[in-house]
Structure 1
Amino acid sequence: MSRNPLIASLIIVLSASFIFISVVIYPMLDMLYPSPDETVSSKTLSIAISTDIKTLDIAKATSIADFEILGNVYETLFRITYDVDQGKLKYVPWLVDYYAQVNKTFWVFKLKNNIVFHNGKTLTAYDVNASIVRAITAGGIPQMLFTDTGGKPIIDRIVVFNETYFGIALRKPFAPLIEHLAHLSMGIMPRDLAEKYMNQTITDINDVVGTGPYKIVSWERGLSAKLAKFENYWRGVPKIDEINYLIMPDANTRIIALKSGQVDIAIDIPPEAIDQLRIDGFNIIATPVVRHVIVAINTQRLPDTRIRCALNYAVDKESIVTNLMKGYAKVSNSVISTIFPGAKELKPFNYNPVRAVELINEAGGINRTLTLIVSTKGSKDLELAEIIRHYLKNVGVDVRIVPMEHTAFLNKVFTEHDFDLAIYGPSPSSTYYALSYWKTGSYLNGPLYSNTRSRRATRKSNLDY
């Protein structure tokens, strides 16, 4: 077959470079602090979000809400931005003023001057050192970002030259270093707090201290989180005095709150509600995101690539984009989102149920009911599961849908690998992180995909500059 075997082996549908209508934290920050020629206004901004934060500890943050809220409090050495012209993510210096790669395994960095934390202390290289060590030690995303697939640390040591300059020595060449330092879970905090919580989780709101434009002043679990502007923010006094996040899990409740004036912004609006809101005069902001919705195929349960190709041919992905997502998504043409620098666009599987049946018959049939597991957390995932079942039924494949609580779902996919098909939507921040979902031996490789060619390619991408 002429099809790329990597694509055929992995997925049924990769949809969504931009999924829901949302206000992403980075662009939002640009609206909240003034440019030099602007005056500061006094205002409170109310935002309806669908989920509560799960932690006050930036190093252990995992959810969109965690990063949405704590991303106003903490900042990183580099920042993830979006190049509209190129349609790609960019990683730009933020707390860092200058950096250079000395050789394949050693980088030197210089911090910007006159940046202060919310507690009034000046940012130094000692804070950076303690924050990085603490983040990786704390586990979670930082540990994954800075641990190779063999379980060994990527960073060998951090060298602090003085309060402004520091270096990072790598155990081996690692191309995505800057991308990973830009992840919000690598937020910089004061040295004393990093050391205090080196082996603990931050739970005291008074110890949530960063360099960002806002300080968190209150959090009522399941109800709200309130931020207040930081007067000494290094980029200028923020325009908005307070930001109130109101947790509203139900989409209709968020829409009603928006229409009644209870909130100024509502995040995660279902696609089917967008047209009416636009007619009602509301501004709709659709921002590109990295979420990549897939139906993973367990390669141990379905080892024949003809079967996996057939499942791809069987699903009309363009119809899903049009009818389920109302055009606020697109059919993916890569194993990772092409929003990442260097990601290549490939030709996706076309909808061809006749070819799907041919391949299934050629492989001797499936001859059993497939189990499709889906988390009840995703607002569209259950609907997508029903659509997938319909398409596969049309080519003679029976599917049983098993909804489950999100934690149990994650365990089934990434620990037990106990599924035939599974719907999930990773939101990685870098090419390396995204590829981790398909790397041999990676915890994130739920489908247990393994291929010699892909292993060589991903290994090469980690080392080349």
Structure 2
Amino acid sequence: MQGEYRMSRSLARIMAIITIIAVACSLIYIGLSRGDVSRDSNGFHYARELKIAISTDITTIDINYATSVADFEVLGKVYESLFRIGYNPVEKKLVYIPQLVEKYIPINETFWFFVLKDGIKFHNGKELTAWDVEASIRRSIEISPIGRMLLRDAEGMPIIDDIIVYNSSSFALRLRKPFAPLIEHLAHLSVAVMPKDIAERYMDKKIESLDDVIGTGPYRLIEYVRGQYVKLQRFDDYWGKKPLLEMVIYRIVPDVNSRITALKTREVDISVGIPPEMALQLKREGFKVYNETGVRFVIAAINTLKIPDVRIRRAMNYAVDRRAIVENILNGFAVIAKSVASPIFPNVVYLEPYSYDPEEAERLITEAGGINRTLTLLVSTRSPKDIELAQTLKYYLSEVGISVEIQSIEHTAFLKKVFQDHDFDLAIYGPSPSSLYYALTYWRTKAALNAPLYSNPEVDRLLDIVVEEKDEEVRQSIYRRIQEIIWSECPAIWLYFENIIIVTRSSVEGLRILPFQILILDDVYVKN
């Protein structure tokens, strides 16, 4: 069963990254059907079925239209990309690993050769070919809100000039110009691979039929009841390591108290997105608590057209006690911002943090001539923590003479007001990019997600040349300079990187988590 989901392309692009969505959509729980177990060769019993609850429904069954954490959590078990995003726990950095690709060779700066792995099958039984890859990439470039941002340049031109298929297992990408983060962008699920006939049939429209949701992933999408649940079944012909779980069921359960009750009564085994104070209490009661660094960067964007004086914007940064916010609102489950992107990305540099210095804030405000009006601080009603943060920011800014009025509005209206109308002075939200370059492009002059309307020609120029630079050391120095400029010009009050909080019963083993609040279920089992 499936429903319709309609959204303007521009608003879909907005929802792709604004992960205030992420907090609401990632409240996940996993439960065990007690009578449904399997036994391995050693006589060990484990669950065959896993129940996962999300607080809001998925927005689509079409991977190319996926924008929210819930979308990628569910559809990421069904579809796969040429590469995948992994996490190195030792270096605490993201890595980009071949997935459907056996090998790849950059022949030169604009010509990349790829060979696919043998024996990969789609859920319909057909083998993966290079022609499927070609059609899938073209569809992503054409219609995917995120794919269009990943695989097009600042002028909206595709970075891929041509896709050359040599045979069923090999192909090449000819680029219009050098593009260093190509592999990082091909790892995004918005560039996932589907059968050629489906990609071509839906080249200008959205997939709405479950029969056409066909990927190469470890699970098949077999049932969807809007507002109630999504059901996945293990794909037994999966080319990779087969998961222990035979069935994964995502249920929509909005109330956090209901999820915690289910955890305590053994109706569920895992809950994701538990508020910090509740997680600490559950830890005291004997539950496992995972506390992992995430990519969601919580900021209070500053409209640079309405507040053009950089001294005022810097004053706002000095006015805020981030350490107190992290300790008192988040119970320590966050990392104070020292960069313009999450520290888990390669080439992120740590910069001099804005210390809590009300006297310096007052000096800068006086030097700039003060602010003679009340500022509007927008916040979505979707996240209680963001609302609490807004109240705290209002207090800190008032202490240095800045009057603030908080407006809490429904999430869709919030997105429109912030990213389309730019009708705000300050706005709290949390970008959640998949690479450093992607994170930095938010601040490009004409970027769709540049809510503060920040503009710096030097930043735009450096963003253009960093992707064409072949020398790694030079590229690192360019990345550093971009970050330094944006950090110093304060198009936002830089706050913190939100941690991912997952609580499980002691019987749950094998769970891994990506920093995007995505559960890796490959090795998950529940002991009986």
Closer, same or farther in 2 for the Cα pair 1:95/1:169, shift >3 Å?
A: same
- Tell me which of 440, 455, 460 is aligned to 1:455: 460
Tell whether the 8 Å contact from 1:21 to 1:269 is kept in structure 2 after alignment.
no
2:214 corresponds to: 209
1:380 aligned counterpart, secondary structure: helix
Alpha-carbon distance between aligned partners in 2 of 1:252 and 1:208, rounded to the nearest angstrom: 33
Superposition deviation, residue 162 in structure 1: 0.6
Alignment map for 1:102-121 (pairs within 5 Å) = 102-121=107-126
Give per-residue Cα distances to partners, 1:288-340, cap 9 Å, x unaligned.
32111111111111011110000000010111111111111111111111211
2:416 aligned counterpart, secondary structure: helix
2:331 corresponds to: 326
Superposition deviation, residue 418 in structure 1: 1.4
Alignment map for 1:58-69 (pairs within 5 Å) = 58-69=63-74
- Tell me which of 199, 204, 210 is aligned to 1:199: 204
2:231 aligned counterpart, secondary structure: strand
Tell whether the 8 Å contact from 2:116 to 2:169 is kept in structure 1 after alignment.
yes
Superposition deviation, residue 225 in structure 1: 1.0
- Tell me which of 403, 407, 415 is aligned to 2:420: 415
Tell whether the 8 Å contact from 1:48 to 1:265 is kept in structure 2 after alignment.
no
Tell whether the 8 Å contact from 2:25 to 2:54 is kept in structure 1 after alignment.
no
Asked if residue 181 in structure 1 is aligned to residue 186 in structure 2, the reply is yes
1:224 corresponds to: 229
Give the strand-richer structure, 1 or 2.
2
1:439 corresponds to: 444
Superposition deviation, residue 463 in structure 1: 1.6
- Tell me which of 360, 364, 368 is aligned to 1:363: 368
Q: What amino acid does structure 1 have at the position aligned with 2:52?
A: I
Q: What amino acid does structure 1 have at the position aligned with 2:126?
A: K
- Tell me which of 43, 55, 62 is aligned to 1:50: 55
Q: RMSD value over aligned CA atoms?
A: 2.4
Q: What amino acid does structure 2 have at the position aligned with 1:377?
A: R
Q: Is there any run of 5+ residues in structure 2 with no aligned partner, and where?
A: 1-18, 30-39, 471-528
Tell whether the 8 Å contact from 1:231 to 1:238 is kept in structure 2 after alignment.
no
2:438 aligned counterpart, secondary structure: helix
Q: What amino acid does structure 1 have at the position aligned with 2:122?
A: F
Give per-residue Cα distances to partners, 1:48-97, cap 9 Å, x unaligned.
22221100000000000000010000001000011112111110101111
Alpha-carbon distance between aligned partners in 1 of 2:25 and 2:174, rounded to the nearest angstrom: 41
Tell whether the 8 Å contact from 1:40 to 1:239 is kept in structure 2 after alignment.
no
Superposition deviation, residue 19 in structure 1: 8.2
Asked if residue 164 in structure 1 is aligned to residue 165 in structure 2, the reply is no
1:447 aligned counterpart, secondary structure: coil
Asked if residue 263 in structure 1 is aligned to residue 268 in structure 2, the reply is yes
Tell whether the 8 Å contact from 2:301 to 2:426 is kept in structure 1 after alignment.
yes
Alignment map for 1:70-149 (pairs within 5 Å) = 70-149=75-154
- Tell me which of 308, 329, 343 is aligned to 2:313: 308
Superposition deviation, residue 36 in structure 1: 13
Taking structure 2 as the reference length, the TM-score comes to 0.80
Give per-residue Cα distances to partners, 1:149-205, cap 9 Å, x unaligned.
112111111111111001111111111111111011111111111111111101111
Closer, same or farther in 2 for the Cα pair 1:330/1:21, shift >3 Å?
A: farther
Alpha-carbon distance between aligned partners in 2 of 1:249 and 1:144, rounded to the nearest angstrom: 31
Alpha-carbon distance between aligned partners in 1 of 2:166 and 2:206, rounded to the nearest angstrom: 29
Closer, same or farther in 2 for the Cα pair 1:252/1:109, shift >3 Å?
A: same
Closer, same or farther in 2 for the Cα pair 1:444/1:21, shift >3 Å?
A: closer
Alpha-carbon distance between aligned partners in 1 of 2:384 and 2:123, rounded to the nearest angstrom: 37
- Tell me which of 285, 294, 301 is aligned to 1:296: 301
Give per-residue Cα distances to partners, 1:102-127, cap 9 Å, x unaligned.
11111111101101011100011011
Superposition deviation, residue 378 in structure 1: 2.3
Alpha-carbon distance between aligned partners in 1 of 2:180 and 2:41, rounded to the nearest angstrom: 36
Alpha-carbon distance between aligned partners in 1 of 2:170 and 2:442, rounded to the nearest angstrom: 35
Q: Is there any run of 5+ residues in structure 1 with no aligned partner, and where?
A: 1-14, 26-34
1:161 aligned counterpart, secondary structure: strand
1:119 aligned counterpart, secondary structure: coil
Structure number with greater CO (CA < 8 Å, separation at least 6) is: 1
Alpha-carbon distance between aligned partners in 2 of 1:37 and 1:157, rounded to the nearest angstrom: 52
The share of aligned pairs that are identical, in percent, is 53
Give per-residue Cα distances to partners, 1:209-261, cap 9 Å, x unaligned.
11111111111211111111010111133200111111111211111121122
Tell whether the 8 Å contact from 2:151 to 2:159 is kept in structure 1 after alignment.
yes
Alpha-carbon distance between aligned partners in 2 of 1:289 and 1:75, rounded to the nearest angstrom: 22
Alignment map for 1:21-32 (pairs within 5 Å) = none
Closer, same or farther in 2 for the Cα pair 1:167/1:379, shift >3 Å?
A: farther
Tell whether the 8 Å contact from 1:49 to 1:254 is kept in structure 2 after alignment.
no
Asked if residue 285 in structure 1 is aligned to residue 311 in structure 2, the reply is no
Alpha-carbon distance between aligned partners in 2 of 1:65 and 1:21, rounded to the nearest angstrom: 5
Tell whether the 8 Å contact from 1:20 to 1:328 is kept in structure 2 after alignment.
no
1:232 aligned counterpart, secondary structure: coil
Tell whether the 8 Å contact from 1:134 to 1:195 is kept in structure 2 after alignment.
yes
Superposition deviation, residue 460 in structure 1: 2.5
Alignment map for 1:390-429 (pairs within 5 Å) = 390-429=395-434
Alpha-carbon distance between aligned partners in 2 of 1:235 and 1:127, rounded to the nearest angstrom: 19
Asked if residue 317 in structure 1 is aligned to residue 322 in structure 2, the reply is yes
Alpha-carbon distance between aligned partners in 1 of 2:379 and 2:28, rounded to the nearest angstrom: 25
Tell whether the 8 Å contact from 1:23 to 1:285 is kept in structure 2 after alignment.
no
1:32 corresponds to: none
Tell whether the 8 Å contact from 2:81 to 2:100 is kept in structure 1 after alignment.
yes
Superposition deviation, residue 138 in structure 1: 1.4
2:384 aligned counterpart, secondary structure: coil
Closer, same or farther in 2 for the Cα pair 1:55/1:40, shift >3 Å?
A: farther
Alpha-carbon distance between aligned partners in 2 of 1:55 and 1:270, rounded to the nearest angstrom: 27
Tell whether the 8 Å contact from 1:106 to 1:170 is kept in structure 2 after alignment.
yes
Tell whether the 8 Å contact from 1:298 to 1:421 is kept in structure 2 after alignment.
yes
Tell whether the 8 Å contact from 1:106 to 1:167 is kept in structure 2 after alignment.
yes
Alignment map for 1:344-363 (pairs within 5 Å) = 344-363=349-368
Give per-residue Cα distances to partners, 1:398-449, cap 9 Å, x unaligned.
1011111222211222222111101110111111211121111111111111
Closer, same or farther in 2 for the Cα pair 1:134/1:65, shift >3 Å?
A: same
